Amino acid sequence: MRNNGGFPNSNYVKGNLHVFSIDGFIPIKYGFLPIERLVRDMQVSEPDGCFLPFANDAGGNIFYMSLLDDDYERVYLLTTDTADKIYVCGSFDEFVAALYNE
> What pLDDT sits at residue 46?
54
pLDDT at 80: 85
Please check whether residue 42 lies inside any domain of the structure.
yes
pLDDT digits (tens, 9 = 90+) for 27-77: 776 666 666 666 666 555 554 567 888 899 989 898 999 888 888 999 999
Look at residue 5 and tell me if it is in a domain.
no
Query: In whole angstroms, what is the distance from residue 89 CA to residue 46 CA?
Result: 20
Query: How confident is the model over 73-101, as pLDDT tens digits?
Result: 999 998 988 888 999 999 999 999 999 98
SS3 category, 69: helix
Question: Which residue range forms the structural domain that includes residue 54?
Answer: 12-100
In a domain, 27, yes or no: yes
Residue 4: what pLDDT?
Answer: 60
Give this prediction's pTM.
0.80
Residue 4: partners with Cβ closer than 8 Å, 6 or more residues away: 27, 28, 29, 30, 31
Domain count, the chain: 1
Q: Which residues contact 35 (CB under 8 A, 6 or more apart)?
A: 26, 27, 28, 29, 52, 53, 54
